[in-house]
């Protein structure tokens, strides 16, 4: 008999796996095939809040559709409701369904993503199926991630599949079903490279996906600061003027700036702003 996923920790030992290792509250391990990932996606669709590894740090995530789950994340992190959060999609082709990408040079998003980068772009609310007023209300920009991580891509892809008997239009199907994603820590604390480092918020989570130590670093050693810096956040809202801003250096600053300046001839505007982050 399978355990309730709200009572489990899931262990992932590689980015691309065939089995999920489920640890129940009574410390019994059960292996289930990755093909059964629908159990996890159903939990998310039902308003669950999970922790999972990304290509940078551990994150906390929920369905973009659940205002209640989003509020739970804000509460468990002690995060201000006025601080925006990013969304996570499984592939670059989803991004134009959520953001205005018309001013971007061809190929730019594919040169940055998948990877440890969050792109900030004007949000789209024109289509009713894409309008989520509970997500970052009053904020006209949205941060989007496509992590370079096989498991999280598989999870969001499975979440984006149309449910049986679900009626929706082609635009909504193409847009997919993003996760809302932020860092797995109390607001203001250091980012987590292992699940043990955010144990203080475990009781508030419905499921934990254990991917081991992120980036192969030992948190007990003197890890470089970039190991905990999360994704590089780049504001591309002024791309039509050949301008970009870096609102968080993150772990891919050098490569991001090099791509934008050398490949696309863009200029770096060095100023700060409040940005959706993960």
Where are the domains positioned within the chain?
Answer: 5-268
- Split at pLDDT 50, 70, 90, the class of 122 is very high
% the chain with pLDDT above 70: 76
Could you give the CA distance from residue 33 to residue 248 in angstroms, rounded to a whole number?
37
Query: What is the pTM for the complete model shown?
Result: 0.85
The mean per-residue pLDDT over the stretch 259-278 comes to: 81
**pLDDT for position 210:** 79
- Under CATH, domain 5-268 is a member of which superfamily? DHBP synthase (3.90.870.10)
- Split at pLDDT 50, 70, 90, the class of 188 is confident
pLDDT digit string, tens, across residues 132-154:
889 998 899 999 999 999 889 99
């Amino acid at each position: 008999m399978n355990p309730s996923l709200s009572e489990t920790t899931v262990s992932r030992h590689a980015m691309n796996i065939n089995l999920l290792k489920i640890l129940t509250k009574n410390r019994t391990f059960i292996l289930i095939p990755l093909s059964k990932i629908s159990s996890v996606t159903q939990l998310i669709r039902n308003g669950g809040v999970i922790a999972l590894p990304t290509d940078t740090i551990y994150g906390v995530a929920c369905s973009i559709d659940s205002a209640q789950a989003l509020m739970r994340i804000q509460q468990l992190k002690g995060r201000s409701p006025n601080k925006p959060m990013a969304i996570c999609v499984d592939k670059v082709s989803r991004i134009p369904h959520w953001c205005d990408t018309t001013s971007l040079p061809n190929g730019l998003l594919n040169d940055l993503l998948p990877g440890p980068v969050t792109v900030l772009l004007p949000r789209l609310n024109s289509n009713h199926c894409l309008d989520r007023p509970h997500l970052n209300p009053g904020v006209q920009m949205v941060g989007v991630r496509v992590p370079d991580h096989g498991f999280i891509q598989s999870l969001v892809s499975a979440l984006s599949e149309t449910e049986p008997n679900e009626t929706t239009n082609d635009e909504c199907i193409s847009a997919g079903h993003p996760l809302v994603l932020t860092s797995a820590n109390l607001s203001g604390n250091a980012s987590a490279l292992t699940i043990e480092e955010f144990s203080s918020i475990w009781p508030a989570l419905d499921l934990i996906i254990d991917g081991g130590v992120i980036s192969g670093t030992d948190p007990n050693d003197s890890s470089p600061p970039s190991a905990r810096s999360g994704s590089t956040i780049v504001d591309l809202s002024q791309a039509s003027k050949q301008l970009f801003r870096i609102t968080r250096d993150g772990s891919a600053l050098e490569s991001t700036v090099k791509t934008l300046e050398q490949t696309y001839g863009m200029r770096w505007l060095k100023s700060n702003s409040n940005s959706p982050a993960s």
